Amino acid sequence: MDGGAIYDILIIGGGINGCGVARDAAGRGYSVFLAEMKDLASGTSSWSTKLIHGGLRYLEHYEFRLVREALMEREVLWRMAPSIIWPMRFVLPHHEGLRPAWLLRLGLFLYDHIGGRKLLPATRTLDMRSDPAGKPLKPLFSRAFEYSDCWVNDARLVVLNARDAADRGAVIRTRTRVTSARRDGAVWTVTVEDSRSRRTETVRAKLLVNAAGPWVDEVLGATLGKNDVHNVRLVQGSHIVVKRKFDDPRAYFFQNRDGRIIFAIPYEEDYTLIGTTDRDYEGEPGAVAITDVEIDYLCEAASEYFAEPVRRSDIVWTYSGVRPLFDDGASKAQEATRDYVLTAEGGGGQAPLVNVFGGKITTYRRLAEAMLEKIGGLIGRRGAPWTGDASLPGGDFPVNGFDREVGKLSAAYPFLDTGHARRLVRLYGTKVPAMLGAARSTADLGQHFGADLWEAEVRYLIEHEWALSAEDVLWRRTKRGLRLTAVEAAALDDFMRGATGRSETAAAE
């Protein structure tokens, strides 16, 4: 579009909700401009527990609508992106003195039956004295329930939605902050600022989507000039990553004495991810960091179950995020609803604004459909829902076809070791050949940055996935940050500074 054009939709925020809406809208033929002030998924969307789940715990809060919708999404999303989403079995030990076995069984019965489960296996009961899942735990747990949910690479889900949106015509701008938005009758005049050059630019659009996650109220206040805005409750959640605590591919669902639950999940081959916490948060969402109290809480809660305690010294990485929960007035952070709410204003000659409050990664696609329904009513309908059976980039292979894809890749590029081939298919699915091209040996992959990270991958991320810094590559597009030394990461950063200087336009547009 040329500089004077008016976009149909301008989206503030490149988290899962903004990118999901951009993809759906672009696919229906709307012109879309998305502005993300930092990197894609740099907000809450890369700090989650990474589960595509119904949320067994939400049944206790009678959130049946949410749980049903979320459960139904598990197999839809798995089919859309089988590289970055896959089924996982969860082992829930029965703990004497906590929830009774009949209650767990009832919850899991509902879980199995209200969510349109077709491919995921059903719940079963385990004898923890003989099942391998009992081995890393204290011998106190004789019975457990094993049920299904899915795992997602959250940051990549965001980027793949952005990539698909761009492939369908959307303009995706990262490092671009929306600083003000003014209604001129039926059109928004929006000022965006490039966070590196500080250059500002005016963009016009018929409709504004505020998908700024934990910044949603700040955008309403500082950017849109509204007074007394309070729609979301900011709730911090933190995770610790420790050296692998168990070999079993299943994850654990541990109940705590305070009524909360935590997960212990196999992570990035050699690690275990343990989380999360729930505490009200005040302050700038980008500055959130794990507290000592949270570290102690997670270590103690996991040590209640594992035979070998989880110690501070086991921790190799931590991360924290802020949930932007719709403020439903719940007294405890853990009880606040995880459902999403969309509010629209304007229309009838006044340029409309639609805000996103709350939501989960699991329900982002449905949230986008609900958003498009609202948008259709406000600026005119285009297209029909289409995302339910359209693969994300690289996800065009059958749900159980991962090993076959790895086999195909290894046959085409025999110099890749199996671990490397598996990692690449997990991240990029069928797009790996586009990254590796005609390479015949690792020497053809260019500069080596450490672990199994080579220049060919980094260049692909710059050219196709808006990566601009070492952090974008090491902690969001991949998790190679867990493996590279500080010196290696600094060398990558130097390389990227040079490389993105040259390809800045390609990366930003």
Q: Which residue, 31 or 362, is less far from ligand FAD as judged by CB?
A: 362
Residues 479, 504: contact at Cβ < 8 Å? no
Contact status: 212 vs ligand FAD (CB under 6 A): yes
> Which string of DSSP letters, residue by residue, matches 94-137?
--TTSS-HHHHHHHHHHHHHSS--SSSPPPEEEETTTSGGGTTB
Collect all residues with Cβ–Cβ distance below 8 Å to 251 and sequence separation of at least 6.
Answer: 88, 89, 90, 91, 151, 263, 264, 265, 266
Binding pattern for the stretch 35-64 against ligand FAD, x by CB under 6 A and - elsewhere: xxxx---xxxx-xxxxx-------------
Burial classification of residue 195, based on how many CB atoms lie within 10 Å of its CB (0-12 exposed, 13-18 middle, 19 or more buried): middle
Contact status: 15 vs ligand FAD (CB under 6 A): yes
Locus of tokens 């296996």: 121
359 to 378, contacts with ligand FAD by CB under 6 A?
359-362
Cα–chain center distance at 307? 31
What's the CA gap between 20 and 18, in Å, rounded?
A: 6
Least distance to ligand FAD, CB of residue 278, Å: 8
- Interacting residue with ligand FAD among 78, 215, 281, 475 (CB under 6 A): 215
Contact status: 266 vs ligand FAD (CB under 6 A): no
Cis peptide bond prior to 276, omega within 30° of 0: yes
Least distance to ligand FAD, CB of residue 354, Å: 13
- Interacting residue with ligand FAD among 27, 107, 134, 321 (CB under 6 A): 321
Question: Degrees (nearest 5) of the Cα angle 287, 290, 291?
Answer: 110
What's the CA gap between 124 and 146, in Å, rounded?
A: 5
Contact status: 22 vs ligand FAD (CB under 6 A): no
Contact status: 69 vs ligand FAD (CB under 6 A): no
Contact status: 342 vs ligand FAD (CB under 6 A): no
Q: Which tokens sit at 147? A: 């049920």
What's the CA gap between 300 and 294, in Å, rounded?
A: 10
Contact status: 352 vs ligand FAD (CB under 6 A): no
430 to 489, contacts with ligand FAD by CB under 6 A?
none
Contact status: 500 vs ligand FAD (CB under 6 A): no
Q: Which residues are paired to 450 by β-bridges?
A: 453
Contact status: 237 vs ligand FAD (CB under 6 A): yes
Please give the residue whose beta carbon sits closest to ligand FAD in the complex: 15
For ligand FAD, which stretch binds (CB under 6 A), given 96-104, 252-260, 352-360, 420-428?
Answer: 352-360
Q: Which residue, 50 or 459, is less far from ligand FAD as judged by CB?
A: 50
Interface residues toward ligand FAD, by CB under 6 A: 12-18, 35-38, 42-45, 47-51, 177-178, 211-215, 219, 223, 237, 276, 321-324, 356, 359-362
